[in-house]
Structure 1
Amino acid sequence: MTIIGNSLQNAPSSDAASTDGRTFQDPNKYLLPNDKQEKDRLDKQYILITKLLDGKLAWAPIHEPRNVLDVCTGTGIWAIQFARQHPNAQVTGIDIDTITPAITPVPSNCTFQSSIDAQDGPWSFAPDVKFDFVHFRMILSCFTRPIQVFQSVYDNLSPGGYIEIQDLCVEIHSQDGSASGTSFEKIVDLYNKGALKSGVDMAKAKNYKNWLQEVGFVDVEEHLAEPGLPTTGWHENERDREIGTQGGAAIQTFIEKGMPAYLRAAGLDEAGLKELSEKAIAELGSGDVRAYYPFYVVYGRKPLD
């Protein structure tokens, strides 16, 4: 993430590490911060992505789910809003870090469980609890073993229940070639390389459909939300221009605040990091880079038998 990841948003825990004034829960597990700046970024990210998805919290054909799980809930904002829209559902949000809800009061049908790594298995929910809907949003930086996580979802879904993943793919697309050879293109390339060295594929969203089918999900559908996440407000129509303006600002902030850990992992020294970041931000600020990231919505159903 350009804009990235729905996890580790909160005030530091007692085990948190500190780097360059930012705090982290466990950099060995997740390289993004967990401080107030990250919490604020995640809340703005929620608003942006919901706008991109035309105001919908879910695209899967779900009907009055009873038990809902939001994995990598971050500030819990999606879980809270879903619980408000579905008062007869019990919504649980889980995250690897401590959770302080973005919105209060929290509805009585929404609860949170902290310090849970979804990659640890098997999941330890009550034996009689099966979920009707399991949701993921912006998880591209969260897992080194995503197929294992999707298998855990399958094992904990009721027959007929749905999984849905809403995620960014960190690949630069530019129809007019304006991103080619730019510092922005270079910094994204280094960011992806640093992430891969850390075991995380930032472009894995394009594999979700195949992975869900491999696990056993049926009726798997893959959709690309339009216009993706633009780097600037270069579109002519008002909706897409607004998404691009907000998304571009978020990307510029993320270059400065969220990318450094992965850029260092790619081998960039401090002087090079500073210079490249400044050049990339200036390019985006000029509005000349007419590019976007694809945004995937993938969902599938557990068979009834």
Structure 2
Amino acid sequence: MSLVAACSSTPDNLRRYSGRGPTTASAGQWQPATNTATRASAPVSTRGLIAASSDHQKVGRAYTVAGRTYQPRRDDSYDQTGIASWYGPNFHGRPTANGEIFDQHAMTAAHTTLPIPSIVEVTNLENGRSVIVRLNDRGPFVDNRLIDLSRAAATELDYIGTGLAHVRVRYLGPAHEAGAPPNRVYQANADPTPTRVPAQMPVTTQVAAVEPATIEPSPAWQPASTPSGSFSLQLGAFSDPDNAQSFARRLDGAGEVWVEAGNSGRGQVWRVFFGRWADRSAAQAARGSLADWGVYETRIVAMN
């Protein structure tokens, strides 16, 4: 997510609605860490990470998640501070927004608007630790969070336990296409001493609906069946059918998920639905089952 929750137009394939991974005890609200020693970061090398051309990057169209519209754009001067969350086990091995396979042990991240794939530097403002990560996904879509890091990247920034961190995100340039040059774990600059970073799993992917035209789209996902009932949960609405199918694929295993084409005031739209129940209260009760999949905001709709 990324189809993500309610998208009117999706940039890429959004994986989920919100940040994954633990949060603080205060219901996901970031709180400053106490007694945290600040360490200066050694310079981080970006040698070999920045692609010579951005032609293969995908910016995408505007999309809406849980009533909020995101407008992807290219911004070479992007430099923002905000809250970072992280995601890991529940999404390990699943497709990212640009069709790569998410590896929680790789130095990657998700962002709502920057082009993908991109290289960004993320600095934990509480302890001075920094990492360089590859943006290959969309999110997070909760609590105005700025970026969602993989477990490995969050470990390097030392906020696995708290779940959230106050960070600075700086765009460095376009990343290479997946597999060219060979994928490698990006360097953390938190310590002057060598830092052990988990090895990245080999990535064998097909990019779905991503420019240039030489890349073939992934086959359309089809649910096993469309369940019957009067009420369902709408997880997202997209102007791009590939984005809708991608989001539905990411929830395969959560339950009955399917995509329906329809119309809105802005034209044709593809909506992602989950489950069917005989009454509204049953649908409301089922919302909690999606939390483990990173979906926290849904809409109950009456089905025909």
Which structure is higher in helix share? 1
Same fold flag (TM > 0.5): no
TM-score of the two chains, using structure 2 as the length reference: 0.28
TM-score of the two chains, using structure 1 as the length reference: 0.28
Query: Relative CO higher for 1 or 2, CA cutoff 8 Å, sep ≥ 6?
Result: 2
Which structure is higher in strand share? 2
